[in-house]
Chain A
Amino acid sequence: MASDNKPKAVDPAFTKSVVDAGADTVTLCFQCGTCTGSCPSGRVTAFRTRVMMRRVQLGFKDDVLPSDELWLCTTCASCDERCPRGVKITDIIMTLRNMAVREGYMAEAHKNTARSLMKTGHAIPLGDAFRKLRETLGLDGEPPTVLTDKEGLEEIKKIVKATGFDKLVG
């Protein structure tokens, strides 16, 4: 089974595409693991920030973009703040997630959140119980946001069309 042990090919093109997208500090990582040691998500999952950075350096695109791990970061930025090499880790993860979404890797739950934003201008809906509670508190049932500002909501819809977000989410 020697062929199974063949090392995976390094793909500099993927690394370059990440660097070109603005995540140039990924090349500075020297694998100390401070990020992994600082990661609250890594404490409870198999997500290893250091490994993610190494995979990008080696260009292992297929281990990165489709992975669930990529979406386990809470963006708390503890790793960024402690990285002795100034690697902007959260920013790199954002770049990778943007690339993953463009390649079609987007969870249904996230698509629904995105659709809510495009439809209402907010990430979550307003239910009857909360509308009533707002009134009990002396507030308008619907807050004075794009929920009541129809012109404002049209602006949101134009923006997501202009950036191509509507097509991206589908």
Chain B
Amino acid sequence: MAEYALFLGCIMPLRYPGIETATMEVAKALEMDMEVLEGTSCCPAPGVFRSFDRNTWLALGARNLALAEEKGTQIVTVCNGCFGSLWEVADLIEKDEKKKEYANSILKEIGKQYNGGVKVRQLAEILYTEIGLDAIAAKVTNKLDYMKAAVHYGCHYFKPDIVKKIDNRERPKTLDELLEVTGATSVDYRHKNMCCGAGGGVRSRAKEVAQAMTDQKLEAMKESGANCIVDICPFCHLQFDQGQSGLGTSFPVIHLSQLYVMAFGLDEAINGFEAHTVPVKF
């Protein structure tokens, strides 16, 4: 199996499949050895399923990790929810023998086992630390200098930052730099590091509360003069893309993988922008 296994999750393949094709094409352009990890389920989503029953969340997460372990590969996610769940399940099993025993007692029922050691990564972090800004810059053929982007990191990318050590939670910079390497400008805005509002099962249980948080971010983006939103999570992506009618804004919402398809001069049809509620046009 390849060095990296792309974990599909739910929102990306089932709502924004263009992020999936974009991710695979960008990985190819950057000569990353990446394949899709087959046979996976929902990560399971941290906000809902961990809230309902942590044992089930742990066991289902361990099954996904076991699939990567069997293939001897690292897991790559392009979703902060999948990243949050799989990273935390892997971390819990690594640090807590009882959790590991429990997970394996359940996996035994399906003839599987998870021994530990699978690395769970977020694509943005791999691009920043392993591929590097210079190598990415070398692939940029279309300068995106018309873009003034409000970047949205999402929550589970770098938190908890003391253990993840990916970025500084109060002054993150990785996504800003990954954006600006394309010639686009990262616009500073109020509430930049704030949650999109969708997580924790809030979107499904109290949609108006999730929307009120999203509106605060959108208002701040409006003030900042941004002309688009760049994210690294299909769930935040969905929340911003489907949540703009109330305020009447029309910020195109672009995932980092889709952004690189545009910047690298790849066929933009693979971005699947037709799935977007807000048209991606400038």
Contacts A94-B51, A130-B275, A144-B36 known; 19 new A-B pairs at CB < 8 A: A40-B194, A43-B213, A44-B213, A72-B202, A74-B199, A75-B155, A76-B194, A78-B159, A80-B160, A101-B53, A107-B204, A109-B205, A117-B41, A121-B41, A123-B42, A137-B18, A138-B270, A143-B13, A156-B63
Report whether B59 and A143 are in contact in the complex, using a CB–CB cutoff of 8 Å: no
The contact sample of 26 A-B pairs, CB cut-off 8 A, is A41-B202, A43-B213, A44-B212, A75-B47, A75-B200, A78-B159, A81-B161, A98-B54, A101-B51, A113-B48, A113-B201, A114-B48, A122-B42, A123-B42, A124-B15, A139-B17, A144-B8, A145-B41, A154-B110, A155-B63, A156-B41, A158-B109, A159-B60, A160-B56, A162-B59, A164-B53
A-B contact count, CB below 8 Å? 206
Contact with B197, one of A74, A114, A158, A165 (Cβ below 8 angstroms):
A74
Show the binding face of B for A, using Cβ within 8 Å: 8, 10-11, 13-15, 17-18, 20-21, 36, 38-42, 44-56, 59-60, 63, 106-107, 109-110, 112, 155-156, 159-162, 169, 191, 194-195, 197-202, 204-206, 209-210, 212-213, 216, 269-270, 272, 274-275
Contact with B49, one of A44, A76, A117, A125 (Cβ below 8 angstroms):
A117
Distance (Å) between the CB of B225 and the closest chain A CB? 23
Once the chains are docked, how many angstroms separate the CA of A169 from the CA of B270? 39
Show the binding face of A for B, using Cβ within 8 Å: 40-41, 43-45, 68, 71-78, 80-81, 94, 97-98, 101, 106-107, 109-110, 113-114, 117, 121-126, 130, 133-134, 136-139, 143-146, 149, 152-156, 158-160, 162-165, 168-169
Report whether B106 and A159 are in contact in the complex, using a CB–CB cutoff of 8 Å: yes
Between A107, A160, A163, the greatest number of chain B beta carbons within 10 A of the residue's beta carbon is seen for A163
Report whether A124 and B10 are in contact in the complex, using a CB–CB cutoff of 8 Å: yes
Q: Which residue of B lies closest to A43 (CB)?
A: B216
Once the chains are docked, how many angstroms separate the CA of A153 from the CA of B17? 21
Report whether B201 and A152 are in contact in the complex, using a CB–CB cutoff of 8 Å: no
Residues of A within 8 Å of B160, CB to CB, are 77, 80-81
